[in-house]
Structure 1
Amino acid sequence: MGEYVTLVRPRWSDMDAFGHVNHANMVTLLEEARVPLLFDDASAEGLGDFARGIVVVRLSVDYRSPVVVNGHDIRVEITLNELKMASFTLGYRVHNGPSERDKVAVVASTTLAPYDLAAARPRRLTAAERDFLGSRIPGAES
């Protein structure tokens, strides 16, 4: 089974003194990898509530090797690790280049929860959102 794949390009400003992507900026790159899926693709399918409110509940990042800033895209593979009624967990494999043959440098996960901004509280996923996540991101079933 495959995964949702996107390319992101580290910026020169993401670099630390050693030429590697700074750890805080890696978290931003993970966000940039998931936004087109959860905001753009979901909105195109009539599921605009993700773009109106979603929060990170948990974040885990394991570094296997540095991600080098060299002006090239990096490949981010996203899988659905867990799908619950009010949250879901995405897994990431970040390659140090645009190809699946490039070394995996970072393995990460984020648990996300839909959020009702008006009520100022988390909310449950709708059936349509659960279907979207399960069909668009390969991985675990609920």
Structure 2
Amino acid sequence: MTPYVALVRPRWSDMDAFGHVNHARLVTLLEEARVPLLFGSGSDASSAGLSDFAKGIVVVRLHVDYRAPIVVEGQQIRVEITLADLRHASFTLDYRVRTGPSEDDPVAATATTVLAPYNLERGMPRRLSTTERAFLEERIPSGGRA
């Protein structure tokens, strides 16, 4: 099964002194890749009737392995997202970040985020609903570890 794919465009301000996307800015690009899937009124989750994701999800853990620089030249980069793990109160996404928009472009980085739904009113994590778990399983293909 093919991964969920998001195309994001690095900005000039994402560059470091060497003309590459700065390591901390890559984390922001990962976030921008998952936002259309999980958050906002036009997101895949919102379209599926899941508004609670937008009410609170926190990053529990983040791991990034860098393989090649991403040079900011105005092109979009391809971020492929798969579901690595699904638990009752968290889920893990694996990312494969390519240097350009094509699935044939070299892999620049792989990453993993563990995300947990969070109840902002109560100030504590919450469990995923049955509907949320089904959405994650159906919308984000399971993949091998990035």
- Looking at structure 2, the residues matched to 119 and 43 of structure 1 have their Cα atoms a distance apart, in angstroms, of 22
Check if 1:33 corresponds to 2:53: no
Counterpart of 1:48 (choices 31, 43, 51) is: 51
Backbone CA RMSD of aligned residues: 0.7
Matched residue, 2:18: 18
- Looking at structure 1, the residues matched to 93 and 48 of structure 2 have their Cα atoms a distance apart, in angstroms, of 20
Structure 1 stretches of 4+ moved >6 Å: none
> More displaced, 116-125 or 131-140?
131-140
Secondary structure of the residue aligned to 1:108 is strand
2:118 maps to a residue whose letter is Y
Tell me the CA shift for residue 50 of structure 1: 0.5
Check if 1:107 corresponds to 2:117: no
TM-score normalized with structure 1 length: 0.97
Matched residue, 2:124: 121
Matched residues, percent identical? 70
TM-score normalized with structure 2 length: 0.94
Counterpart of 1:134 (choices 121, 137, 141) is: 137
Question: What runs of 5+ residues in structure 1 fail to find an aligned partner?
Answer: none
- Looking at structure 2, the residues matched to 119 and 52 of structure 1 have their Cα atoms a distance apart, in angstroms, of 12
Tell me the CA shift for residue 103 of structure 1: 0.1
Q: Deviations over 1:1-53 (max 9, x none)?
A: 21001100000000000010001100000000000001111011110111110
- Looking at structure 2, the residues matched to 28 and 71 of structure 1 have their Cα atoms a distance apart, in angstroms, of 17
How many residues are treated as equivalent by the alignment? 140
Question: What runs of 5+ residues in structure 2 fail to find an aligned partner?
Answer: none
